[in-house]
Structure 1
Amino acid sequence: MKFGSWSKLVVFTSLTFGVIAESSNEVGNSRLVKKNQFGLSKFNFNIKRDEHEEEEHDHDHDHEEEEHSHEHEEEHDHDHEGEEEGHTHTTFNVTGCHLHDDSLHCTDPDGIEGMISPLPTHPRENYTDCHSHGTEIYCMDGETEYLFIRESDNDINLANEEISCHMHAGVEHCTYANGTEVSSLDGNYCEKIDRDYNIPLRIGLLFVILVTSAIGSFGPLILRSLFKISANNVIIIIIKQFGTGVILSTVFIHLLTHSFLLFSSSCLTNLNYEPTSASIAMAGLFIAFVIEFIAFKIISSRIEKLNNRSTASTQNDEHEHGSIEKTNIDHNSSEEEIFANNEPSRSSYDKLSVILLEAGIVFHSILIGITLVVAADTYFITLFIVIVFHQFFEGLALGSRIIILNTSVWTKMLMAFIFAITTPIGMAIGVGTLNIFNGNDPSTIIALGVLQSASAGILLWTGLVEFLYRDWFFNLKNASWFSTACAMLSLVLGLFCMSLLGNWA
């Protein structure tokens, strides 16, 4: 048989098998060895089927490789991927691990802080055999492996996300769209954030705060003046004890908590003394104690001198010597006995106590005004509503103490007026500094923190010693059970109301 005949026979046979393979839908059963221009369309069909089969085979092969890689990942065998990315399998340790809220923070050898995830049941100070797998880092705790997430790695992913911020206690808290809090390690967190503020709204609400503060501070004065009620009336007792609760809650829920937040800011990189806030508050308490103790000694000495003069004058008066009662006071008499026998001196002491109270409140109120104005517009209205109640309660607390002073009406009105204008003054300062104010600047944080802590110490002394102790162990010791019960309920109500506001401000 000639070569041409053999060629035709081969072509005919191939075409026959191709048609049979097409009709039976069998995959991968025909292979063509030679090509010929004759019957090219049938050859193309078979070539396309072969390519499709090869793609399916490659896909299955890739799937097997992916499953194999996943199994290696579960077995923590990262050598192959490390070689592809040019990494060497080196290990290191993370140290200085400490709990912060519900997360465990550690530091790698480069000084970069990160978080161990998930939170171990029994956290350790150090984790060993940490190694990289692609962009992730794993650390060992015995046979258990944890993920070490460096904050600098998060910054790369979060840098382009939208940031929303709000002011709390003078501290600007910013979060990304996914809820992650922005930290100072993000690079620009401690820098000033430029915003568009609704200044007319802030100026208008300044007068609302002024009126509200005035109602709180002048209210007890007007109430007593209109109804001619005594200082021992149950209504006055209720207002006073409510004010005492407000003052104590202001110390613990607002001032101390806010100062701790300020001094724990990550922007204060050089502050290593953690109890800074508590130590400044303690100093404020000590200063208040020293001032009142010196005043007490001066007043006691004045009483004794006046008493001695009165005794000497009585002894020289033969007509009244036998009928006059002994008015000199023993040196061992209690504070209450001393002041009970000399009303003018006691009034001076009470006035000093109220002045200290107002000093602590005034510092705090100025900071509140600044904090309110510099808050972002999205948070401003909420904070404004909270501060309206805050100022009204504090005004009542101060006004309830002003009305019992044995001084002129003009002095009482002046003290109430000073409180009423302090927060608006703070708001005016905030409006004037909106373009330059940076709540996360280290110097600003320190200034705000010191004032908050010092105010907390002063108010703690006056709230606990001058108001709570003196009222309950002296002024209310002879009160009826009804008055005592009303006073206790009012005290608790003051604590509760002011503490509730701490949820928003």
Structure 2
Amino acid sequence: MDAVDAIENVELNVCSHHRAEHDFMNLRIAAIFIVLVGSTTGALFPVLARRSTWLQVPKSVFDFAKYFGSGVIIATAFIHLLAPALEALGSECLSDGWKEYPYALALCMLSIFSIFVIELVAFRWGTTKLAKLGKSHDSHGHGLGAHASHGPEGLPSKTEKTVDSDVESAQDTHESHSHGPRSWSTDTTTQIIGVGILEFGVILHSILIGLTLAVDEDFKILFIVVVFHQTFEGLGLGSRLAYMDLAAKYHWIPVFAAVLYGFTTPLGIAIGLGVRHSYNPASTTASIVSGVLDALSSGILVYTGLVELFAHEFLFNKEMMAASNAKLAYAVGSMMLGAGVMALLGKWA
């Protein structure tokens, strides 16, 4: 009994008390600004580079950034979110009730279904609005800057492409004369919903990473990993933001979203430094909060990665399905490289 009591006392001590880390305080403070630069640069560069008239970035570079970023997002969902959620909600500090059911996986599934329902309702509403305007809506063309597409079974012939192009050109000309400049539309709404869902999941994850970095004992290793992690993740988000097709007066939205992402991890670090004397990442409350948020965020990124990126960028993208084998291999290889690099970083963070 004495040995059992001793073990229980040790576990209680770990879960209830935390020694505030004062090592590398100057570097921990500097991390706020270093991570800010890395995150913001990663997210903002694709947006600004695509709009720049003097910075001629080859399309192949944009394609690499887009597909590499897709791989980063998918690896983040499984390696950097779902795995930590399983660990946090399986912590020894939690009561036995938490160990009787795979809550992390259930929350991930709940998140996936929630995002599905939200998008389903949004697109049904959008389709109804377009029908009232006498226009059609391509159900496979929405999402994170994806081109309108019809899936592999509906690849158009050259004649159909020419006709479609002429019709679309005529429609655009008619709309420009009848209604003036293109303004807020259903397509704008669907794009913002898609990117907003992605950014929401990434932001939750980024704040938790910053909080962990501020109080972690193995600061140096985690700091290096977080800089690369947030830069690559920013690249993935930024490449999606860059391909949003918005009217000119709404061009501030991708820039705002990129800058917002850049500030989230530094904000988490600042909060962590402010509460480092009382915050215990191994405590019951911290384990539950981080586990639940990580699980929900993983569901968001799993849905976004598999549906919006895998399906709409490849299977339902008529341009990609008709592309050469070399281009397809380049895109898939870039995505696998992004996933591989991000998965490797999971060894240290």
Fold agreement, TM-score > 0.5: yes
Structure ranking higher in strand proportion? 1
Opposite residue 70 of structure 2, the aligned amino acid is T
Q: Does 1:367 align with 2:208?
A: yes
Q: Which has the larger radius of gyration?
A: 1
Q: What's the CA shift string for 1:130-159, capped at 9, x where partnerless?
A: xxxxxxxxxxxxxxxxxxxx9639x58xxx
Residues in 2 aligned to 1:483 and 1:228: alpha-carbon distance in whole angstroms: 26
When residues 480 and 354 of structure 1 are mapped into structure 2, their CA distance, relative to the original with a 3 A threshold, is: same
Which of residues 416, 427, 437 in structure 1 aligns to 2:279? Answer: 437
Once the 2 structures are TM-superposed, how far is the Cα of residue 211 of structure 1 from its aligned partner?
Answer: 0.2
Question: Structure 1: which 5+ runs fail to align?
Answer: 1-111, 113-149, 157-182, 308-327
Whether contact under 8 Å (2:14, 2:283) holds in the other structure is: no
Give the secondary structure class of the aligned counterpart of 2:321.
coil
Which shifted more, 367-376 or 475-484? 475-484
Whether contact under 8 Å (1:255, 1:452) holds in the other structure is: yes
Which of residues 118, 125, 130 in structure 2 aligns to 1:291? Answer: 118
Which of residues 328, 345, 348 in structure 2 aligns to 1:484? Answer: 328
User: Which of 1 and 2 has higher RCO (CA within 8 Å, sep 6+)?
Assistant: 2
When residues 500 and 233 of structure 1 are mapped into structure 2, their CA distance, relative to the original with a 3 A threshold, is: same
Structure ranking higher in helix proportion? 2
Corresponding residue pairs, total: 305
When residues 215 and 232 of structure 1 are mapped into structure 2, their CA distance, relative to the original with a 3 A threshold, is: closer
When residues 232 and 195 of structure 1 are mapped into structure 2, their CA distance, relative to the original with a 3 A threshold, is: closer
Opposite residue 335 of structure 1, the aligned amino acid is S
Alignment of 1:15-34 (within 5 A): none
In structure 2, the residue matched to 1:500 is 344
In structure 2, the residue matched to 1:257 is 83
Once the 2 structures are TM-superposed, how far is the Cα of residue 225 of structure 1 from its aligned partner?
Answer: 2.6
Residues in 2 aligned to 1:337 and 1:190: alpha-carbon distance in whole angstroms: 49
Whether contact under 8 Å (1:277, 1:449) holds in the other structure is: yes
Whether contact under 8 Å (2:42, 2:238) holds in the other structure is: yes
Residues in 2 aligned to 1:187 and 1:282: alpha-carbon distance in whole angstroms: 32
When residues 469 and 196 of structure 1 are mapped into structure 2, their CA distance, relative to the original with a 3 A threshold, is: closer
In structure 2, the residue matched to 1:146 is none
Residues in 2 aligned to 1:458 and 1:295: alpha-carbon distance in whole angstroms: 16
Once the 2 structures are TM-superposed, how far is the Cα of residue 184 of structure 1 from its aligned partner?
Answer: 7.0
Residues in 1 aligned to 2:57 and 2:308: alpha-carbon distance in whole angstroms: 16
When residues 504 and 468 of structure 1 are mapped into structure 2, their CA distance, relative to the original with a 3 A threshold, is: same
Opposite residue 434 of structure 1, the aligned amino acid is R
Q: Does 1:336 align with 2:188?
A: no
Residues in 2 aligned to 1:336 and 1:228: alpha-carbon distance in whole angstroms: 34
Over aligned residues, Cα RMSD in angstroms? 2.6
Question: Structure 2: which 5+ runs fail to align?
Answer: 143-147, 150-167, 173-184
Whether contact under 8 Å (2:213, 2:219) holds in the other structure is: yes
Which of residues 16, 39, 46 in structure 2 aligns to 1:220? Answer: 46
Whether contact under 8 Å (1:234, 1:483) holds in the other structure is: no
Opposite residue 498 of structure 1, the aligned amino acid is M
Once the 2 structures are TM-superposed, how far is the Cα of residue 483 of structure 1 from its aligned partner?
Answer: 1.9
Once the 2 structures are TM-superposed, how far is the Cα of residue 346 of structure 1 from its aligned partner?
Answer: 3.1
Q: Does 1:204 align with 2:30?
A: yes
Once the 2 structures are TM-superposed, how far is the Cα of residue 355 of structure 1 from its aligned partner?
Answer: 0.7
Give the secondary structure class of the aligned counterpart of 2:16.
coil
Q: Does 1:406 align with 2:231?
A: no
Opposite residue 393 of structure 1, the aligned amino acid is F
Percent pairwise identity: 36
Q: Does 1:193 align with 2:18?
A: yes
Once the 2 structures are TM-superposed, how far is the Cα of residue 406 of structure 1 from its aligned partner?
Answer: 1.6
When residues 335 and 305 of structure 1 are mapped into structure 2, their CA distance, relative to the original with a 3 A threshold, is: same
In structure 2, the residue matched to 1:31 is none
Residues in 2 aligned to 1:492 and 1:228: alpha-carbon distance in whole angstroms: 31
Residues in 2 aligned to 1:433 and 1:247: alpha-carbon distance in whole angstroms: 30
Once the 2 structures are TM-superposed, how far is the Cα of residue 372 of structure 1 from its aligned partner?
Answer: 0.4
Alignment of 1:42-121 (within 5 A): none
In structure 1, the residue matched to 2:160 is none
Whether contact under 8 Å (1:362, 1:422) holds in the other structure is: yes
Once the 2 structures are TM-superposed, how far is the Cα of residue 259 of structure 1 from its aligned partner?
Answer: 0.4
In structure 1, the residue matched to 2:4 is 152
When residues 231 and 456 of structure 1 are mapped into structure 2, their CA distance, relative to the original with a 3 A threshold, is: farther
TM-score normalised by length of structure 1? 0.57
Q: What's the CA shift string for 1:273-298, capped at 9, x where partnerless?
A: 33010001111111111111111111
Q: What's the CA shift string for 1:442-481, capped at 9, x where partnerless?
A: 1121111110000001111111101111000133122233
Residues in 1 aligned to 2:47 and 2:138: alpha-carbon distance in whole angstroms: 31
Opposite residue 290 of structure 1, the aligned amino acid is V
Whether contact under 8 Å (1:277, 1:450) holds in the other structure is: yes
Whether contact under 8 Å (2:74, 2:302) holds in the other structure is: yes
Whether contact under 8 Å (1:152, 1:186) holds in the other structure is: no
Whether contact under 8 Å (2:68, 2:338) holds in the other structure is: yes
Opposite residue 298 of structure 2, the aligned amino acid is A
Residues in 2 aligned to 1:229 and 1:204: alpha-carbon distance in whole angstroms: 31
Give the secondary structure class of the aligned counterpart of 2:82.
helix
In structure 1, the residue matched to 2:190 is 349
In structure 1, the residue matched to 2:226 is 387
Once the 2 structures are TM-superposed, how far is the Cα of residue 422 of structure 1 from its aligned partner?
Answer: 0.2
When residues 470 and 195 of structure 1 are mapped into structure 2, their CA distance, relative to the original with a 3 A threshold, is: same
Residues in 2 aligned to 1:471 and 1:232: alpha-carbon distance in whole angstroms: 19
Whether contact under 8 Å (2:21, 2:276) holds in the other structure is: no
When residues 297 and 226 of structure 1 are mapped into structure 2, their CA distance, relative to the original with a 3 A threshold, is: same
When residues 471 and 193 of structure 1 are mapped into structure 2, their CA distance, relative to the original with a 3 A threshold, is: same
Residues in 2 aligned to 1:236 and 1:481: alpha-carbon distance in whole angstroms: 19
